Structures are given as C-alpha cells and as structure tokens.
C-alpha cells in the first residue's frame, strides 16, 4: 500500500483487529502494529486486508501515517498502556495524537494526557463498548480529551460507530478523562444490570423451578416488552446453548463464581468519594465478590439451613411482579449512575451533557436498552434534572412498579434466595422518596460519643449537647459539619 494511512492501531488482539477491520471497511487505511507476528498476520488475513498494513515496529507504523498522526491503542489497561506511550512519544510530534481505546482508569488517563500534552502530543481517552462483535460491526464510542484532536478522528469514529436512526453512537463528551469516566460508569451500570438479571434468573430457577427452555422463553418474551435490551437478548440465547463436551446446556456446567477486571468497583469507589449513593452497583460488586468464595459458601451451607424453598403461590403473579421489578430496578440503576455523572461532571469540570451520553448508549454498547430513549428525552426536557426519578414519566414508571419491587424483595427473602441488587434498588427508591430519614439519630449519636455536633430543624448552625450531663444546645461556631 503506497498511500498513507489515516490511523495507526497498536494492539491487534481481538478488539484491536476487529476495530481495524471495521475502520478499513469504511475506507480508511489502517497501519497496524503488534509485538506478536501471528496477530499481525491475522489482521491482514481477514476481509478488508488490503486496507490494513502491518508493521513489525512502532517506527514503521508512525512513518506510514498521514500528519497529524493519530494512533489508537487497543492494549490491556494498566502498565501496557504506559509502556506503549513511552515508546510512541519519541516517534510523535506536536499536533499528533494518542488515543487510548481501552478500559483505563480515568485518573491514569489524566496523568497520561498531562505527560503527553507536555510534549505537544494530544491524548484522547476513549471508552469503546460492544465487545468483539461491536468492535467489528459498530461499537458505542465515548471520546474525551482535547476537542481539536477529536475533530481529526471524528470522521473515522462516526463512520465505524453503531447507528440508531442514522445517528452514530459517538459524540464528544468533554475534556481530560471525560470519555474514560463515562465508560467506567457505563460499566458500573453493566454490573448493576447483570446482577439484577442474574437475581431474576435465580428466582426463576430456584423459586419457580423453570427449566432452561422455559428460562429462554421467559427472557425472550421479556425482551419484547419495555425491558427490551441487549443483555436480555443474550440472556435468552445463553439458555439455549449446548455444551460440546457433555451435550448438557452450557449454562449448567459453568462455575458459579463471577470474575471481574474491576471497572464496577472503580465506579462504586468514585461514587463514595463524591458522596453519591450507588447502592445497586455496590451490591453488584459485593455479589461478585461473594460468589468467588464457593468453598466458604459450601461450608456455611452446612451450618445455616432452610434456604431454597420453592415458591408455592401464583406463578403468573410471580412472573409479572418479577418483570415489573426488573424494569423499576433498571430505571433506579440508571438514575443512580446518571446522578453520579452529574456530580462528577461538576467536580471534575467535564461539562458532560447527560442526554448526549444516553443517546450514545442507545446502540452498540453492552447496556443498550429501550429505556435509554426515555432517559434521553428526560434530559432533553431538563438537562439539569438532579435525579431521573424526578422525571414525570420515569418516576411514574417506577412508582407503578414499587409494589412489585417490594413483593420481589419480600418473596426472595422468604424463599431464602439472595437478591441484593433488587433490595438495594428498592431501598434506593424508598430512600429517595422519604421526606424523613432517621439520620437525626445518627447526628445525635455522633454528637453523643464524639462531640461531632449536629444541626437542628428550627435554627441554622451547629450545636453540641453534653449528653451525659444533659446540658443542651451549645451553639458551636464555624465547624463545617458536612464533610466534603
């Protein structure tokens, strides 16, 4: 290939290769690099190969690019990203751009963009969702970093992204680590939704004793309703898959210990730092951790009995309530995570447009679901809405299903089936809708044992009581009792 390439791709593993093929299919020549010669060969061996040129060195790759050069990294998050940047920077110059397309931690992205920026090289942190298939056929793309650098690669991203109603599922999100932050929260939502669906499966399997065929049919039917989304679609398909080794359903020979790379945990951790409640995601992260100790679970099961009762009531009611509870909990999960994005946007000065994020998530990504259309509309109507539960339509959807959510939590507890994400979602909804909470007692207790002061309902300021001597209402000056 004599013509210069529009973009470089570093890392030709399955994600990098598929993205390279997707880019090449859209008419943009790609220069590829991987340390593994086999991966280099695979990248050119597939369709679109005539527009992918591979190089055995990064120097070869950078020389093949049009100026200003754009190099997309699809390497594992963490030290490999720093290693590649270290080798690339001496080969690039002012105006060139490094794009990290992996699931990098947003604070790493901030540090890397400062380091690259100091040499005049722009740095884009770009969340890419959709897995291997999405990378090949149309992912959802969440770019952040310098706007000018984004403009250079915008035509490529818009061409390769998934499209919904002809709108590409990509759009500039904000400066610095905005793109990777949004991708992290996307994954937090992914954790929440996966856990909710897993709990519904548990209730249907252990509570109603549905067979794999019945499970497949149930999820397929639910996917035709307001719950419709990619995760329900693949859930239905999973129950029909047979294992090559045993001929059994594959799902029944998969170990019940969930793994993780940690993006859900980062979301929970950051939400705690920002004091934004994210109980459904927290519960999902904890549930994965709990699942990993199967040995301990087997031992505790010998001590604590009485689990796994079969549901003896109305089966149709069970199914309807579970479906409604899943929808309410899904909205509650999005409400929590959008509230996190709203706060993060202010604290980190991202200037996020939440409606634009909902738009980008409607196609290509793992959490794409029908409710995102309503969420997008909600932010269109009021870009500053503090919580989606305040939106008339979404709030009403949850309100109508509040009883079902409570019923599912009750029934799960009664059957001895753990449903932490449903319960956390229920408590989030009830907590948000509580005009009064028992936090006055916590204020009093903190003041009792630690003289931390408290606020009153009738007067401004902070107060302290000598609780043991009964001396009341000494006003304390100046102390900021709201930790920030």
Which residues here bind ligand 6PG, judged by CB under 6 A? 103, 129-131, 187, 190, 260-264, 365-366
Answer whether 186's CB lies under 8 Å from 361's CB: yes
Which of 208/258 has CB closer to ligand 6PG?
258
Specify the residue, 311 or 361, whose C-beta has the smaller distance to ligand 6PG. Answer: 361
Give min distance, CB of 130 to ligand 6PG, in A. Answer: 5
Contact predicate 403/311, CB 8 Å: no
The least distance separating ligand 6PG from the CB of residue 365, rounded to whole angstroms, comes to 6
Beta bridge partners of 80: none
Residue carrying structure tokens 């909470």: 437
The partner residues of 229 in beta bridges, in order of sequence, read 369
The Cβ-side half-sphere exposure at 208, using a 13 Å CA radius, reads 23
Least distance (Å) from ligand 6PG to the CB of residue 129?
Answer: 3
129/443 with CB nearer ligand 6PG:
129
- Determine contact, residues 98/92, Cβ cutoff 8 Å: yes
Structure tokens at 317: 């009611």
- Cβ at position 393, least distance to ligand 6PG in Å: 27
> DSSP letter string over 79-145?
HHHHHHHHHHGGG--TT-EEEE-S---HHHHHHHHHHHHTTT-EEEEEEEESHHHHHHH--EEEEES
Smallest separation (angstroms) from ligand 6PG to the CB of 392:
31
- Report how far residue 444's alpha carbon sits from residue 260's, in angstroms, rounded to the nearest whole number: 40
Strands (E), 252-300: none
Residues involved in catalysis: 183, 190
- In angstroms, the CA 195 to CA 346 distance is 29
Pick between residue 53 and residue 284 the one whose CB is nearest to ligand 6PG.
Answer: 284
Distance CA 338, CA 325 (A): 20
In the complex, minimum distance from the CB of residue 149 to ligand 6PG, in angstroms, rounded to a whole number:
23
Residue 76 near residue 83, CB atoms below 8 Å: no
Q: How far apart are CA 363 and CA 230, in angstroms?
A: 9
8 A C-beta contact, residue 97 and residue 149: yes
Q: Count CA atoms within 13 Å of residue 423 on its CB side.
A: 12
- 132 Cβ contact partners less than 8 Å away, ≥ 6 residues apart: 14, 15, 18
Closest separation in Å from C-beta 49 to ligand 6PG? 25
- List, as one string, the DSSP characters of 380-447: HH-TT-S-GGGSHHHHHHHHHHHHHHHHHHHHHHHHT---HHHHHHHHHHHHHT-S--THHHHHHHHH
- Residue number with CB closer to ligand 6PG (105 or 219): 105
Nearer to ligand 6PG, 186 or 342 (CB): 186
- Toward ligand 6PG, which CB reaches closer, 28 or 361? 361
Measured from the CB atom, the residue of 231 and 429 that comes closer to ligand 6PG is 231
Closest-CA residue to 238 (of 192, 209, 193, 198): 198
Nearer to ligand 6PG, 122 or 160 (CB): 160
- Residue 296 CB partners (closer than 8 Å, separation 6+): none
């Amino acid at each position: 290939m004599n013509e210069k390439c529009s973009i470089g791709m570093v890392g030709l593993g399955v994600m990098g290769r598929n993205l390279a093929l997707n880019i090449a299919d859209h008419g943009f020549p790609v220069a590829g690099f991987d340390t593994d010669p086999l991966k280099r060969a695979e990248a050119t061996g597939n369709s679109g190969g005539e527009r992918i040129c591979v190089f055995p060195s990064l120097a070869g790759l950078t020389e093949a690019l049009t100026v200003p050069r754009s190099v997309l990294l699809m390497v594992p998050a963490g030290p490999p990203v720093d290693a590649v940047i270290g080798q690339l920077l001496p080969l690039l110059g002012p105006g060139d751009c490094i794009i990290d397309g992996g699931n990098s931690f947003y604070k790493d992205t901030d540090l890397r963009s400062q380091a690259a920026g100091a040499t005049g090289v722009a740095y884009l942190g770009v969340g890419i969702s959709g897995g291997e298939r999405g990378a090949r056929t149309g992912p959802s793309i969440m770019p952040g970093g310098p706007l000018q650098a984004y403009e250079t690669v915008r035509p490529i991203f818009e061409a390769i992204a998934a499209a919904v109603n002809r709108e590409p599922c990509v759009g500039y999100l904000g400066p610095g680590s905005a793109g990777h932050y949004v991708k992290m929260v996307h994954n937090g939502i992914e954790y929440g939704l996966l856990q909710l669906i897993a709990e519904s499966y548990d209730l249907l399997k252990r509570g109603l004793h549905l067979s794999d065929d019945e499970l497949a049919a149930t999820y397929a039917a639910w996917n035709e309703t307001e719950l419709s989304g990619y995760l329900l679609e693949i859930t239905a398909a999973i129950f029909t898959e047979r294992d090559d080794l045993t001929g059994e359903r594959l799902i029944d020979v998969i170990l019940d210990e969930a793994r993780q790379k940690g993006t859900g945990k980062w979301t929970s951790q950051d939400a705690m730092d920002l004091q934004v409640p994210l109980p459904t995601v927290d519960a999902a992260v904890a549930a994965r951790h709990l699942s990993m100790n199967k040995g301990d679970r087997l031992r505790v099961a010998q001590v604590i009995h009485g689990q796994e009762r079969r549901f003896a009531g109305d089966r149709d009611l069970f199914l309807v309530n579970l479906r409604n509870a899943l929808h309410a909990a899904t909205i509650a999960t999005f409400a929590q995570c959008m509230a996190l994005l709203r706060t993060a946007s202010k604290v980190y000065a991202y200037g996020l447009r939440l409606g634009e994020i909902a738009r980008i998530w409607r196609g290509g990504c793992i959490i794409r679901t029908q409710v995102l259309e309503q969420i997008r509309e909600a932010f269109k109507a009021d870009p500053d809405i503090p919580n989606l539960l305040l939106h008339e339509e979404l709030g009403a959807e949850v309100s109508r299903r509040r009883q079902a959510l409570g019923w599912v939590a009750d029934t799960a507890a009664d059957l001895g089936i753990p449903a932490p994400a449903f319960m956390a979602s229920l408590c989030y909804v009830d907590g948000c809708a509580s005009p009064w909470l028992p936090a006055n007692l916590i204020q009093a207790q903190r003041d009792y044992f630690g003289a931390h002061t408290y606020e009153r309902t009738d007067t401004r300021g902070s107060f302290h009581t000598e609780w043991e001597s009964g001396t009341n209402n000494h006003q304390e000056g100046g102390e900021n009792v709201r930790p920030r």
